Amino acid sequence: MRVIPVIDLKGGTVVRARLGRRDEYRPIETPLATTSDPVDVAHGLMSVYPFASLYVADLDAIEKTADNRRHLARLKAAFPALTLWVDNGISTPGAADAWLASRLGHLVLGSETQRDDILLRRLASDERIVLSLDFRGDAFQGPAAILADQGAWPQRILCMTLGRVGSASGPDLARLAELRKTAPDRDIYAAGGVRDLADLRRLAQAGITGALVATSLHDGRLTGPDLATL
């Protein structure tokens, strides 16, 4: 079970994500850091456990209002051994090529920001690509062709249940099981709702490769000793 902490960036600040309602996100307050600066928060997360990867959602870039590339570069400079998984709303070949050339991190293609499945097909064999299958409730967010053609999926798949983000309601085990059955040869990651070690063990038993976590780390319900048992 691979656990990947999450940072949501908006205006250069780490915000507390909840239920996918981005207009309601506010600067994070956490016992792991004295400020909401991304480098400070990342240091706090790394004090919990020596994570190998960090997922970053650039909310400004996703919403096409600005971007946090400077802060992503700061994170990379502060943690050169840490692999960043970055969702920055990229949906065109030119933008994808430029991002990959920057070597700042792996590229997460969120289904909700894709116009069609062309970019995904073009990049599916690239080991630096992660596909995020985004759901709000039971509704898939994105072109239907992306969900329908598993043959075009890259190796790593996020099952992003936006309505469970920051909710402490537990992972969407039913949808994850369905996805595991649909794509048995892919690495499936749960995103949204993970509460504690028991949830992570349930996911591992279900054949899920890993999970994205944030709230449970900041609230102390998931600790370094917990993670060391996985």
Domain boundaries, the chain: 2-228
- As a whole number, the mean pLDDT across the chain is 94
Q: Is there a contact between 124 and 150 (Cβ–Cβ < 8 Å)?
A: no
List pLDDT tens digits, range 111-146. Answer: 999 999 999 999 999 999 999 999 988 899 999 999
Q: What is the pLDDT of residue 24?
A: 65
List pLDDT tens digits, range 20-46. Answer: 566 667 899 999 999 999 999 999 999
Question: Using CA of residue 44, residue 45, residue 46, residue 47, what is the dihedral sign?
Answer: positive
Question: Using CA of residue 71, residue 74, residue 78, residue 80, what is the dihedral sign?
Answer: positive
SS3 call for 188: strand
Query: CATH classification of 2-228 is 3.20.20.70, yes or no?
Result: yes
Q: Is there a contact between 133 and 141 (Cβ–Cβ < 8 Å)?
A: no
pLDDT band at 220 (very low <50, low <70, confident <90, very high): very high
The DSSP-derived string for 111-177 is GGG-SSSHHHHHHTT-TTEEEEEEEETTEEES-HHHHH-GGG--SEEEEEEGGGTTS-S---HHHHH
- ∠ CA 196-185-101, nearest 5°, is 85
The percentage of the chain sitting over the pLDDT mark of 70, rounded to a whole number, equals 96
Write phi, then psi, for 68 (nearest 5 degrees): -115, 35
Q: What is the pLDDT of residue 169?
A: 79
SS3 call for 93: helix
Q: Residue 200 is encoded by which pair of tokens? A: 């992570």
